[in-house]
Amino acid sequence: DADVTQTPRNRITKTGKRIMLECSQTKGHDRMYWYRQDPGLGLRLIYYSFDVKDINKGEISDGYSVSRQAQAKFSLSLESAIPNQTALYFCATRDRLGEQFFGPGTRLTVL
Amino acid sequence: KNEVEQSPQNLTAQEGEFITINCSYSVGISALHWLQQHPGGGIVSLFMLSSGKKKHGRLIATINIQEKHSSLHITASHPRDSAVYICAVALLIQGAQKLVFGQGTRLTINP
């Protein structure tokens, strides 16, 4: 079984809809991250969390919110999806040595 | 100017060739990561290094901290090495370590 899982893997939705992307990990890492990837651009950080009570904005947090329900779960929400949020979204964890472990990605299309 | 620049952006080679992908960065870092993203989208960590050289099988990563430059080499390349290779640097920003990603190098190995 994968150490970092994301659901759904693919989602097509309409402008204005609320969307939640979920991430779970079995690695026991405190640090979790949400990134988005757009064609021709590097991955960009949306939000990160160092533990259940510590959540921080990344470089592109506008239009997104997160919830760290437990050490193992970190969800990303789009309150009112817009077409320029169409992207590939990755959840990742980080161990104490700094190595990153990525989920398989969620491909989101907003029409 | 991007903080992390990779070259080339695209590389096509024949099976068996020696491959080099370069990464330059403009700021002080605590570590540098090389990641591999397969056509299906998943991202796998290949190396994390802060000095010198690391080797895993046919892959070799080097870093020169003074010159702010890293290279990823693939010896005896194979079609299964075809993927996007991403360089990312770990920066300390506002007391937290964050990754800044390059745009990636798309590698195609033809049989």
Residue-level pLDDT at A41: 86
- Give the residues across from A101 on adjacent strands: A93
Res. B24: pLDDT tops 60: yes
Six-digit token pair at A100? 């990153």
Give which of A27, A33, A55, A28 is closest to A46, Cα–Cα.
A33
CB distance A58–B99 less than 8 Å?
A: no
| Mean local confidence (pLDDT), A77-101 | 94
What rounded mean pLDDT belongs to chain B? 93
> Would you put residue B94 in left (φ > 0), alpha (ψ -120 to 50) or beta?
left
Residue-level pLDDT at B41: 81
| Mean local confidence (pLDDT), A14-21 | 96
| A2 confidence band (pLDDT: 50, 70, 90) | low
Residues sharing a CB contact under 8 Å with residue B36, sequence separation 6 or more, in sequence order? B43, B44, B46, B83, B84, B85, B86
Res. A94: pLDDT tops 90: yes
Residue B95: list chain A partners with CB under 8 A. none
Residue-level pLDDT at A87: 96
| A1 confidence band (pLDDT: 50, 70, 90) | low
A2 or A89, which is more confident: A89
Residue-level pLDDT at B95: 76
CB distance A97–B48 less than 8 Å?
A: yes
| Mean local confidence (pLDDT), B6-21 | 97
pLDDT tens digits, residue range A30-79? 999 999 999 888 899 999 999 999 999 999 999 999 999 999 999 999 99
What rounded mean pLDDT belongs to chain A? 94
pLDDT tens digits, residue range B48-96? 999 999 999 999 999 999 999 999 999 999 999 999 999 999 988 777 7
For an interface test with A, give the residue of B92, B98, B99, B103 to mutate (most A CBs within 10 A): B99
Residue A50: list chain B partners with CB under 8 A. 96
| Rounded distance between C-alpha atoms, residue A49 and residue A60, angstroms | 15
